[in-house]
A and B are shown apart, each in its own frame.
Chain A
Amino acid sequence: MAFQFANLPRRIYRVGWGDDPLAYAPLDILKKGPGRWDDLRFRFRTGYFADSLVTCFIETLVDLRPDPATVATLLAMGEQLPDMDLAVSEALAPKYASVVITAEDRLVDIAHAQSREEFRLRARRRKRLKAGDFLAAHLQVPRRAAGIVYDGGYAGICAPSAEALAVNAASVAVTYNIFETLLDSNQPRVALVPHTVRPAAEQAIDIASARDFLRI
């Protein structure tokens, strides 16, 4: 048994802070708000990419989908709801959208049954894992998986977009999560070449598609 691989597509996308698409987030920031595929012990950092800019925007803006119960409470208090056009543009203002060319390196397809079993063995877990365990809101399993895949010398993890699936179970959006070689090296384990970098807020069509998907 071994991890199942997924090929990286020729182009991958990122919406993130700063205009360097290959820059990893500073460690101090990661520690205050770690992401799904960040190592539990912060021995390395993970760069978050996706199959399209729309997927990136879905992941970036998903937190703004209004909770009906909260909206009802605020309306009952006579409060105004936020202007979503402004909220979205503010949320994206400090961010950049990037296209990156890849060398088609292979990443571990962690949701694949074979990879899940391999992870179970390496993590010495008794119970079998479902794909959903890696996409759950609780990040313990995916963060542990990132550490184990990294220790195996692999370049990163490919997985369905957990955020997109939570909104629409039929989503086929995919994320590519690429490790840096060593902590603070700022070098990804995959050969990546930036193609275009633009302010995120200028990507009107992709933003509109993401907002349509999220219904915000």
Chain B
Amino acid sequence: MHESARLREGLDREAVLSRLDHADRLGIPEVVRDLVDWIGLGLTAMAGGVNETRFVRLWIEGKRPRRPASLRAAWRAAYVIKALCGGEAAKAWFIGQKREFDFQSPIRVLQENTDDARTAIVRAAVRFATN
């Protein structure tokens, strides 16, 4: 079955959402590698709390980032949009301003580095991709 036709079947949304917790089982280098694939170096750097892409390569090589929880939240949000819509939509979503975040983008909200911010962006990503 064609990918888009398969995705249109309701079960796939549930299957994708059931994999969100997979982020907790991945090592940080894998999380970062996926994020680079899906949303690019720049957004991955911002998700990890820095504004320079050189740090991203260090994280992939095993250096511990300052904000691993934010990277895992970014993985969840990126995963659900990438899986159900596509990578470019995921990238645009991370950059897009959201009313619920006072017209900031999810990636800037993630830089607040709080549990509330991380929960809110994953929830917003699910809403965008599944409704």
Contact = CB atoms under 8 A, between A and B. Distances in A.
Given A65-B96, A77-B51, A162-B99, A86 B88 contact: yes
A83 to B, nearest CB: 6
B53, B89, B104 pick with most chain A CB within 10 angstroms: B89
Interface in B62-105: 84-89, 91-105
Contact of B93 (A26, A33, A64, A81): A64
Contact of A17 (B46, B92, B130): B130
A163 B103 CA distance: 11
A138 B101 CA distance: 9
Interface string A134-168: 00011100000000000000000000001100100
Contacts of B89: 64, 87-88, 90-91
A36 to B, nearest CB: 10
Contacts, number: 143
B10 A94 contact: no
A94 B4 contact: yes
Nearest to A32: B126
Contact of B96 (A19, A32, A67): A67
B28 interface: no
B24 interface: no
A92 to B, nearest CB: 8
A65 to B, nearest CB: 5
A163 B99 contact: yes
Interface string B1-26: 00010011110011001001000000
A1 to B, nearest CB: 31
Contacts of B128: 33, 63, 91
Given A82-B91, A87-B89, A137 B8 contact: no
B104 A67 contact: yes
Contacts of A137: 98-102
A18 B6 CA distance: 11
**Consensus secondary structure, chain B interface:** helix
Given A67-B96, A137-B100, A79 B131 contact: no
Interface string B98-115: 111111110110000000
B88 A90 contact: yes
Given A32-B17, A77-B53, A17 B91 contact: no
B40 interface: yes
A102 to B, nearest CB: 21
A25 interface: yes
A13 interface: no
Given A32-B123, A33-B131, A69-B108, 13 more contacts: A17-B13, A17-B131, A26-B13, A28-B17, A48-B131, A63-B93, A65-B97, A73-B51, A78-B53, A87-B86, A90-B86, A91-B128, A93-B85
13 contacts: A17-B130, A18-B10, A23-B10, A26-B14, A28-B17, A33-B123, A33-B127, A67-B105, A74-B95, A77-B53, A84-B92, A87-B88, A90-B89
Interface of A: 16-19, 23, 25-26, 28-29, 32-35, 48, 62-67, 69-71, 73-74, 76-84, 86-88, 90-91, 93-94, 137-139, 162-163, 166
